[in-house]
């Protein structure tokens, strides 16, 4: 290689300042050091870069042509530094996320809104996916983070726990059980139940809460997703078992939630590739998700008048 970066730097400094002394001041080195290096550079190149005429230094046509390329190089270096600075300040880039459909109507909109307030120049791409499709999107790196409340199991994935996310009873506001401090599964089994398909994980989980096969109530309506169950409760079609995060999504008017005795949790987790370091943006988004917990406590609604819903903090 005829030129290294130090030689290019000295050549550029002379071109900009017009003299050896000016270059030495720009680079904070001695004038003899600049003279020696530019002489060595000319030897390496095989042609003269500067000629001294009446005590002044003038660049040759070859030097002017070379300076055009050096200027382009420095602009590229400057762009690299700008990108590095933007990355350090999270001012640039794109964050690709996936979540389960219910969280796409509850947790993720609030988290993304809080994240965008901090980093308005970052583009966020959100996909709502069932767990099996989310797994493939994570493994193929189509998304960087997945957020779900049902397991996404694979040895290549790491799990970051977020919230406990208890299962509660969703009831019409005028239902006799709506003013109770808590209800039992046996009491809910006697009500018209909006249930879930038994071949999905959430459906299997809620069926197990009722007990054995002889204790299973027959749903009056069967759905695939918890937010659909909430909409049916809102329409007074029955009662449903839902997770807290789903209820904390859209404002379900005329719907109250009551804690269930001996309930179970459907923890909300973040999933990412085990051996792939998370980007700074992904790490920031996880921090935003965790910060939401401080201002987003479960809505205890034994009585509709006691609702105290808090907006998440960021």
pLDDT tens, 142-175? 899 999 987 777 889 999 999 989 999 999 999 9
Provide the pLDDT for residue 131: 82
Q: How far is it, in rounded angstroms, from Cα 244 to Cα 86?
A: 37
252 and 183 in a common domain: yes
115 and 52 in a common domain: no
φ/ψ (deg, to 5) at 191: -95, 160
261 and 169 in a common domain: yes
Position 312 in a domain:
no
What's the whole-number average pLDDT of the chain?
85
| Confidence check: pLDDT of 310 > 90 | no
Helix (H) or strand (E) holding 73: helix 61-88
Provide the pLDDT for residue 167: 95
Contacts for 237 with CB less than 8 Å, ≥ 6 apart: 192, 194, 220, 221
Provide the pLDDT for residue 253: 87
* Domain containing residue 60: CATH number: 1.10.10.10
180 and 120 in a common domain: no
Position 306 in a domain:
no
Provide the pLDDT for residue 146: 95
Task: Find where tokens 């004038």 sit.
Answer: 31
185 and 122 in a common domain: no
**Looking at per-residue confidence, does 305 or 240 come out higher?**
240
At residue 237, the 3 state secondary structure works out as coil
Position 307 in a domain:
no
Provide the pLDDT for residue 92: 60
| Domain end residue (candidates: 86, 117, 135) | 86
Provide the pLDDT for residue 105: 85
The mean per-residue pLDDT over the stretch 17-38 comes to 90
10 and 141 in a common domain: no
231 and 170 in a common domain: yes
Helix (H) or strand (E) holding 109: helix 107-118
- Considering the chain, what percentage of its residues have pLDDT values greater than 70? 89
Position 314 in a domain:
no
What DSSP character marks residue 260?
B
195 and 64 in a common domain: no
- Over residues 181-228, the pLDDT tens digits come to 999 999 999 999 999 988 888 888 999 999 888 888 999 999 988 889
| Confidence check: pLDDT of 234 > 50 | yes
pLDDT band of residue 141 (cuts 50, 70, 90) is confident
Phi-psi region of 238 (alpha: psi -120 to 50; beta: other; left: phi over 0): left
Task: For residue 21, give its domain range.
Answer: 5-86
**Looking at per-residue confidence, does 240 or 83 come out higher?**
240
Provide the pLDDT for residue 200: 82
| Domain end residue (candidates: 57, 86, 115) | 86
Provide the pLDDT for residue 158: 93
Position 170 in a domain:
yes
| Confidence check: pLDDT of 304 > 50 | no
**Looking at per-residue confidence, does 132 or 206 come out higher?**
206
- Considering the chain, what percentage of its residues have pLDDT values greater than 90? 48
179 and 256 in a common domain: yes
- Over residues 250-280, the pLDDT tens digits come to 678 899 999 999 999 999 999 999 988 898 8
Number of domains in the chain: 3
260 and 190 in a common domain: yes
Position 301 in a domain:
no
Contacts for 39 with CB less than 8 Å, ≥ 6 apart: none
pLDDT band of residue 87 (cuts 50, 70, 90) is low
Measured in Å, how far apart are the chain's first and last C-alpha atoms? 52
- Over residues 45-86, the pLDDT tens digits come to 999 999 988 888 899 999 999 999 988 888 787 777 766 776
| Domain end residue (candidates: 86, 118, 138) | 86
Q: How far is it, in rounded angstroms, from Cα 118 to Cα 15?
A: 43
C-beta separation of 257 from 171 below 8 A: yes
Q: How far is it, in rounded angstroms, from Cα 69 to Cα 83?
A: 21
Provide the pLDDT for residue 246: 83
275 and 183 in a common domain: no
* Domain containing residue 136: CATH number: 3.40.190.10
Q: How far is it, in rounded angstroms, from Cα 304 to Cα 255?
A: 8
Q: How far is it, in rounded angstroms, from Cα 169 to Cα 259?
A: 6
Position 236 in a domain:
yes
Position 300 in a domain:
no
134 and 45 in a common domain: no
């Amino acid at each position: 290689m005829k030129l290294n970066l130090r030689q290019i730097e000295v050549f550029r400094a002379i071109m900009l300042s017009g003299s050896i002394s000016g270059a030495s001041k720009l680079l904070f080195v001695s004038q003899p050091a600049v003279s020696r290096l530019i002489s060595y550079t000319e030897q390496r190149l095989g042609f003269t870069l500067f000629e001294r005429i009446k005590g002044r230094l003038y660049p040759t046509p070859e030097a002017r042509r070379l300076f055009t390329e050096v200027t382009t190089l420095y602009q590229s270096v400057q762009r690299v530094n700008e990108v590095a600075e933007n990355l350090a300040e999270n001012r640039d880039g794109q964050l690709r996320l996936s979540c389960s459909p219910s969280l796409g109507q509850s947790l993720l909109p609030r988290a993304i809104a809080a994240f965008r307030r901090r980093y308005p120049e970052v583009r966020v791409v959100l996909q709502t996916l069932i767990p099996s499709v989310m797994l493939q999107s994570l493994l193929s790196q189509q998304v960087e983070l997945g957020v779900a409340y049902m397991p996404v199991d694979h040895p290549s994935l790491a799990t970051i726990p977020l919230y406990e996310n208890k299962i509660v009873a969703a009831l019409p506001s005028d239902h006799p059980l709506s003013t109770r401090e808590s209800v039992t599964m046996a009491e809910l089994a006697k009500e018209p139940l909006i249930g879930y398909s038994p071949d999905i994980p959430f459906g299997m989980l809620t069926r197990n809460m009722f007990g054995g096969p002889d204790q299973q109530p027959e749903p009056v309506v069967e759905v695939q997703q918890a937010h659909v169950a909430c909409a049916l409760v809102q329409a007074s079609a029955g009662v449903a078992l839902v997770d807290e995060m789903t209820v904390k999504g859209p404002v379900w008017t005329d719907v109250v939630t009551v804690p269930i005795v001996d309930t179970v949790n459907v923890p909300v987790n973040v999933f990412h590739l085990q051996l792939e370091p998370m980007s700074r943006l992904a790490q920031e988004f996880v921090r935003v998700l965790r910060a939401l917990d401080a201002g987003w406590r479960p809505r205890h609604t034994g009585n509709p008048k006691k609702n105290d819903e808090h907006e998440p903090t960021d």
